[in-house]
Amino acid sequence: MPVARINGITLGYDDYGSGDPVVLVTGTGAPGRIWRTHQVPALKAAGHRVVTVDNRGVPPSDLCPGGFTLDDMAADVAGLIEHLELGPCRVVGFSLGAIIVQELLLARPGLVRQAVLMACCGRTDAFVAAMTAAEIELCDSGTVLPPRFGAYLQAVSNLSPRTLSDEEQIRDWLDVFEMSAVDRAGVRGQLSLQVIPNRLPAYRDIDCPCLVIGFADDLIIRPRLTREVAEAIPGARHLEIPGCGHYGYLERPREVNAAIIEFFGRG
């Protein structure tokens, strides 16, 4: 995996294919390789060069134990785009990654041609605040969850009832979650960034073409929060995909990829 010195830190990334570039920015605690199974092949087949990012806090990128901000993370993505001479390019963000992209659109609008924001929000509601506080308390306690229990929590939090009811699928998901448990201590710095003030008024200044994708069964970023972002960004398109939870881009990749590629075809 290549690394670069970006914004004062070491930032890991992967670079696939050739063509019009797309940068993929993932969510809390997830490595860039999460995109490799579904999104990277589909975007490459559509003629895109795909760059995935390991956000600070996720090795091999620096952990930055002294702390960091959303502005730092947006600057990391901007710096990588400039380092690889990609801009203006297309950018896709998921969950915390979408919030990072939203801030990038405000801070460095000239670097982004089109943006896709998945499972995004423009403010923190009471549930997200409570969830984040609980995750931080667990992290700071030093408690390590047994992998099987952690996998169960991942499943009920991030998957749809449709997937939970499919016995073959859920066994596969539980195996994946158990084998890829996140080191919570390593992403402690990212957790607090899930709590944001109301940024919806600021998003009215975004003039980049945006596709906002919500997932109908998302229990973490409920679809109404995603719709708020679409309503705040002038001219944004909104799509809600049924039958998937917070990990909708992994549960229903065909539908998600088709929507992204169709949107990119318009610009």
227 located within any domain:
yes
Per-residue pLDDT, averaged over 237-266, amounts to 97
Choice between 166 and 65, residue whose per-residue pLDDT is larger? 166
Rounded to whole angstroms, the Cα distance separating 131 from 101 reads 22
Rounded to whole angstroms, the Cα distance separating 247 from 241 reads 11
Known catalytic residue: 207?
Answer: no
Per the structure, how many domains does the chain have? Answer: 1
Known catalytic residue: 95?
Answer: yes
Rounded to whole angstroms, the Cα distance separating 53 from 110 reads 20
114 located within any domain:
yes
CATH code at position 227: 3.40.50.1820
Q: Considering the chain, what is the average pLDDT of its residues?
A: 95
How much is the pLDDT for 184?
A: 67
259 located within any domain:
yes
Annotated catalytic residue within 48, 95, 160, 217: 95
Per-residue pLDDT, averaged over 70-92, amounts to 97
93 located within any domain:
yes
Per-residue pLDDT, averaged over 37-46, amounts to 97
Residues of the domain holding 90: 3-124+196-264
How much is the pLDDT for 144?
A: 85
Known catalytic residue: 192?
Answer: no
Q: Does pLDDT of 182 surpass 80?
A: no
For the residues of the chain, what is the DSSP string, one character each? --EEEETTEEEEEEEE--SEEEEEE--TT--GGGGTTTHHHHHHHTTEEEEEEE-TTSTTS---TT---HHHHHHHHHHHHHHTT--SEEEEEETHHHHHHHHHHHH-GGGEEEEEEES--SS--HHHHHHHHHHHHHHHHT----HHHHHHHHHHHHS-HHHHT-HHHHHHHHHHHHHT---GGGGHHHHGGG-----HHHHTT--S-EEEEEETT-SSS-HHHHHHHHHHSTT-EEEEESS--TTHHHHSHHHHHHHHHHHHTT-
Choice between 244 and 143, residue whose per-residue pLDDT is larger? 244
Report percent pLDDT > 70 for the chain.
98
Q: Does pLDDT of 247 surpass 70?
A: yes
Per-residue pLDDT, averaged over 110-124, amounts to 98
Taking alpha carbons only, the member of 257, 258, 250, 94 closest to residue 172 is 250
How much is the pLDDT for 188?
A: 87
Q: Does pLDDT of 185 surpass 70?
A: no
Say what the pTM is.
Answer: 0.96
How much is the pLDDT for 149?
A: 94
111 located within any domain:
yes
11 located within any domain:
yes
How much is the pLDDT for 158?
A: 97
112 located within any domain:
yes
79: confidence class by pLDDT, cuts 50, 70, 90: very high
141 located within any domain:
no
